[in-house]
Amino acid sequence: MAGCCNHDTKFDGLSSDYKRRLWLVIAINAIMFAVEMGAGHMARSQALQADALDFLGDALTYGISLAVIGASVRVRTNAALFKAVSLLVMGLWVMGSTLYRVFYVGVPEAQIMGVIGFMALVANLTSVALLVRYKDGDANVRSVWLCSRNDAIGNVAVMLAAAGVWGSTSGWPDLLVAGIMGGLFLSSAMQIFRQAVDERRALTQPVT
Ligand SMILES: [Zn+2]
């Protein structure tokens, strides 16, 4: 689900075919960020906006991971720290704006939520299809694959929220799903931060 995606994607020795597919996945994620964020504003849906941020986070993660191929551990832990900070900012923004909505409740547009949620699902399934050939490769490749698959589950949650909003004519299902996604952003930020700090500490420790 949202924010699930592991930062630990250190691509090494990639085939040009895999790189091409990865660039396609990055483009899909970037485009879906823009589409879903715009639609989220139009529909006044917190869940859509949170899901959009997950696309942005993934596009950045894969892009940075590709960029730091072969770089030193220090550079790679810096990239991880950047990812942790951006997840933290995303999580705080989602939690804050969702909390605001709790007190100024409006009913989001369920139809837009459902349609865009479905588009996001198709985008993530397309990414899964692009990467499926490499899913049994090394752990890093596997984590990208698992990430797109888990995001597809998040898209289904957005569609369920749309159905809930439509059925109850209230904004609560939207806020609930957005709150869960915001919480996942924050918990992955903490995990990534802790792991990066550990790796950094291992660098400075003398060999015994
Ligand atoms: Zn993701």
Per-residue pLDDT of the chain (208 residues; tens, 9 = 90+): 445 565 455 666 677 888 888 899 999 999 999 999 999 999 999 999 999 999 998 898 888 878 877 777 788 788 888 888 988 999 999 999 998 888 887 899 999 999 999 999 999 999 888 888 877 766 666 677 777 778 888 899 999 999 999 999 999 999 999 999 999 889 888 988 888 888 888 877 765 5
Dist. CA 189 → ligand 1 center (Å): 13
Dist. CA 2 → ligand 1 center (Å): 5
Which CATH number is associated with domain 16-204?
A: 1.20.1510
Global pTM? 0.84
Dist. CA 83 → ligand 1 center (Å): 12
Neighbours of ion ligand 1 (CB under 5 A): 5, 54, 58, 151
Domain layout of the chain by residue ranges: 16-204
Sole residue written with tokens 């810096």: 78
Dist. CA 206 → ligand 1 center (Å): 36
Dist. CA 24 → ligand 1 center (Å): 15
Phi then psi for 18, rounded to 5 degrees?
-65, -40
